[in-house]
Amino acid sequence: MKARSAILFGSALAALVVGALASTHVTAADKVDPAADIKAFQNFFFQKFPNVKHEDFANGPYSMNEDMKRQWQEKEEFPPYEFALDAGKEMFATPFKNGKTYADCFPDGGIGIRQNYPYFDEKEGKVVTLELALNRCREANGEAPYSYVKDEMASLTAYMAYTSRGKLMDIKIPDDPRALAAFENGKRYFYTRRGQMNFSCASCHVQSPGERIRAEVLAPALGILNAMPIYRSEWSSMGTTSRRFVTCNSQTRAVPLEPQSDEYRDVEYFLSYVANGLPISGPGARP
């Protein structure tokens, strides 16, 4: 009950900060200012958790205290996602029926590029995530798309994330009104309350990181996507970024959107951009 109260109400200060972050530098003309947003977002977490090294935010709840960090380090010795890495590496190298591979679809052969996704495709006018790019690669080579939430997609993204470990998130927002609109839409989705429990993403991951809800320690929003995809004990399997978004909506009794919907892609764009400068730590493992 105590944990639930913490989630429902948070502190008065945190609630005020959430509101401030949600409206950072919006002028009378509603100018979108990603540079101001990232500065305010990161500074909030750096000040809220002054003892956490900035790069450690990429490790989610394991960054919250030394005991949890030790748990994570021990888990990394025999990671539960190792099976997905092996499967992903094999799939990545296996040719399609036409003889091409995933490497033919991506810059640098798809190795060490996780930190650049999602990106805004100026030709299409929309955000393209790594999951979406992988399925488009498959379809362009005559293969059926994979599920966006687990199994093969989770294994492929796990392998690609692993090849980028330690590289800093580097998301670009081009000087294009459509890109700015996508960023702002993602920000709006992140802070909007929804569902029977009237939660927003920020209710848990800005107001209450480090708090427990049942057996789970809530992760800070800063760096939350750097560890994706993740193995979760409650799933007993790997899950993609899409699966995490769908699960979060379900847990707050909101109606989940379709994986890779515009809203989910835009919120991934927002959360990835505000994590710029933090290292890729995926694939990860969570309770």
pLDDT tens-place string over residues 62-74:
988 788 888 888 8
Domain that holds residue 158: 1-23+56-287
Active site residues per annotation: 248
Mean pLDDT, rounded, for 177-199: 96
* Binding-site residues from annotation for heme c: 105, 137, 201, 204-205, 248
pLDDT at position 287 is: 77
HEC per residue, the chain: CHHHHHHHHCCHHHHHHHHHHHCCCCCCCCCCCHHHHHHHHHHHHHHHCCCCCHHHHHHHHHHCCHHHHHHHHHHHHCCCCHHHHHHHHHHHHCCCCCCCCHHHHCHHHHCCCHHHCCEEECCCCEEECHHHHHHHHHHHCCCCCCCCCCHHHHHHHHHHHHCCCCCECCCCCCCCHHHHHHHHHHHHHHHCCECCCCECHHHHHCCCCCCEECCEECCCCCCCCCCCCEEECCCCEEECHHHHHHHHHHHCCCCCCCCCCHHHHHHHHHHHHCCCCCECCCCEEEC
Domain-embedded: residue 29? no
Mean pLDDT, rounded, for 210-231: 90
pLDDT in tens, 88-111: 999 999 999 999 999 999 999 999
* Binding-site residues from annotation for substrate: 244
Q: Is the pLDDT of residue 28 over 70?
A: no
Number of domains forming the structure of the chain:
1
Least confident of 147-151, 158-162, 183-187: 147-151
pLDDT at position 25 is: 40
Please tell me the distance from the alpha carbon of residue 2 to that of residue 12, in angstroms, as a whole number: 16
Mean pLDDT, rounded, for 177-203: 96
Domain-embedded: residue 112? yes
Burial of 66 (0-12, 13-18, 19+ CB in 10 A): exposed
pLDDT at position 181 is: 98
Residue-averaged pLDDT of the chain: 89
Residue in 4, 14, 61, 9 with CA at minimum distance from that of residue 207: 14
Residue in 161, 150, 138, 176 with CA at minimum distance from that of residue 240: 150
Q: Is the pLDDT of residue 16 over 70?
A: no
Domain-embedded: residue 42? no
Mean pLDDT, rounded, for 13-36: 58
pLDDT at position 64 is: 84
Residue 75 — very low, low, confident or very high, per pLDDT cuts 50/70/90? confident
Mean pLDDT, rounded, for 170-190: 97
pLDDT at position 11 is: 40
Domain-embedded: residue 37? no
Mean pLDDT, rounded, for 160-166: 98
Please tell me the distance from the alpha carbon of residue 42 to that of residue 223, in angstroms, as a whole number: 10
Q: Is the pLDDT of residue 4 over 60?
A: no
Please tell me the distance from the alpha carbon of residue 152 to that of residue 136, in angstroms, as a whole number: 14
Mean pLDDT, rounded, for 199-210: 92
pLDDT at position 70 is: 86
Please tell me the distance from the alpha carbon of residue 78 to that of residue 255, in angstroms, as a whole number: 36
Domain-embedded: residue 30? no
Mean pLDDT, rounded, for 259-273: 98
Domain-embedded: residue 237? yes
The CATH number of residue 60's host domain is: 1.10.760.10
Domain-embedded: residue 50? no
Please tell me the distance from the alpha carbon of residue 3 to that of residue 38, in angstroms, as a whole number: 29
Domain-embedded: residue 226? yes
* Binding-site residues from annotation: 105, 137, 201, 204-205, 244, 248
Strands 216-217 and 212-213 come out as: antiparallel
Tokens of residue 158, six digits: 């796990």
